[in-house]
Structure 1
Amino acid sequence: MHTLDAYTGIEGTASLAKETVPANENQAFTHVRATVNQTLATKKYALADASKSDGTVAIQEEANGQSRVIGTMSQGNLCYILADAEKDWIYVESGDVRGFVSKEAVQTGDEVKAQVEAAGEGAYQTATELIAPEDNRALYYSYASVKLGTPGNAIRQAMLDFAAQFIGNPYVWGGTSLTEGADCSGFVQQIYKTFGYNLPRVAEDQSQYGTKIPVEDAQPGDLIFYAKDGYVHHVVMYAGDGKTIEAANEDQGIISGTVYIPEAVWATRILEENYNLEGTDVNEQNATAEQYGDSIGEYTIDYYCSCETCRAKASKVKATGTPVVEGQTIAVDPDEIPYGTKVIIDGHVFTAEDYDTSGKEKHISIYVNEHETAQKLNEKKAEVHLVK
């Protein structure tokens, strides 16, 4: 974690561009390439050089001189280089204006750094805003900011706020329009696309995208999938506190709903890739007495890993597409135990996530990380309980 000194910069002595949308409500600050951690970008100073122009330096919306001018700097105005310092068009931030300036229109280097540090940032004016932040596409190119970054949950909140705008719009089977109508997977696909993520088109394929996590671990913005008889048939965006935003059906349209627990089998996390997939020891008894539900009988228990030997042995075992996790994943015929069902085996809670077509009746394979572990844990019989 970075330790930040008290900020004593230019706000008190120099005028800044007027902020029309707070940073935590500005989708541009939470684009996929923007920082989502509380970090401070290294300050790389640059000063506007308007000697080759009409007295102002244009800040462009795109990296070319034909794009829209979203702000201007006068001679000697201060900006910070955020990216592309060696390119012909440099990505900069000045006040609350972000965009591209021609490399020839700014002065950089050690002399500029020494000059700014000697005079203090407060001695310099910054850019004049011409386009409101919410209309400035250049903000979507942000890699970081010289200001405190947006907290990690802000991208989630921005996504939910964006999705909520379309509540009340129609459900259309096969549709992908947020205004004219979308089905469940088309709706979440377009929401995520707005934030830079390209999801597959249908719910079944979307359920294989990202990192699979338990439904109870879902955070706002994560996707929750519903399955019945072993097949994924619906996807919702989790909104927190048991709520959803989803394209429900033709009667209801796009709604704010609640998670339908009986069919909610797993969630996927796309916004973060740091979810812990280490799992737990398969022999660890982690089930509580209160979790034991009905017994579904005695099953033959086998073990497998992802090596060629195990995969050859179970060549027809088909994963759901979600990551297999030791101490969590079991493979089973979904006609016997549907995907997402939690069961207790030898006091340990597992989740049905792989498809076992070994042909053996009442057969479960448990995933482990190491082949040695799979060999060591010989085939055995065990009573299987559903988790309440």
Structure 2
Amino acid sequence: MSHTAHIPSHRKPRRSASKLAVRAGVAGGVLSTLAMAGTASASPAAEPATETTLEMPVLNMDLGSQVSSAVIKAADNTRAQALVGELNAQEETARTGAAAEAKLAKADAQAKADAEKKATDEAKRQADADRANRGDGRTQLASAKGSSAGSSASDDDSGVRAPATGSAAAIINFARNQVGKAYVLGGTGPSSFDCSGLVQAAFRQANISLPRMSQDQSSEGTSVSLSNLQPGDVLYWGSRGNAYHVAIYSGGGKFIGAQNSGTGIVERSLSYDPPTGAVRIL
């Protein structure tokens, strides 16, 4: 046995490669730090570093509530926009309806104006025809006054006929009892009459049935000259079969008729409104 057999070896153990790498890295880091510190201290013109503190926003982690609120708000906005759109549509409909009503009202007003103008023109035409007929009537009356006094159809020297008798008297008496009553278009009595309504009612007193309208009444009986009138004859204005007014000859150069709403039922001289012609029904 050797005398060195129990003496431990003084040889240092071999370091592993990993430990050497760690130590080398640490040493390198320390040296780098010292170098940077030295550089900083060696620069007298460098300003001292200012420490800045940044505030981090506080995050609201209740994302579910935020999303729900946003959805509700969006739904409310949508409903509000829909309501505004509906109101706008209603306003537009109202404006359109008002415009249509105004257009119809204008058309109705124009139609009424046209009808009134037509009625006015017709009334003027009839008035012109009446004035022309009055001239003819005056000529015929003048001729009647110059006729023979002995004729049974002429007036006597006083210009007054003998009182009517029989059916003519019944007709004339009824018509004369209506004098002063109102003229109403379409009236047939007892409180008001129009022209043909009065003639029809008067002849009914003699049990004679006449048509209702003046045109038809002027077609009844036989035509007679205005110079050959007898009490009870029906006078007409216009043309026979197309008369627009009728009355009853009451004798003495007078007639009884429902003239218009202004005069009512009156007894007037033929010269007041000379008729166009006459028919004899009795």
Same fold (TM over 0.5): no
Structure having the larger proportion of residues in strand: 1
Higher helix share goes to which structure?
Answer: 2
Higher relative contact order (Cα pairs below 8 Å, separated by 6+ residues): 2
Find the structure with the greater CA-based Rg. Answer: 2
TM-score of the pair, normalised by structure 2: 0.39
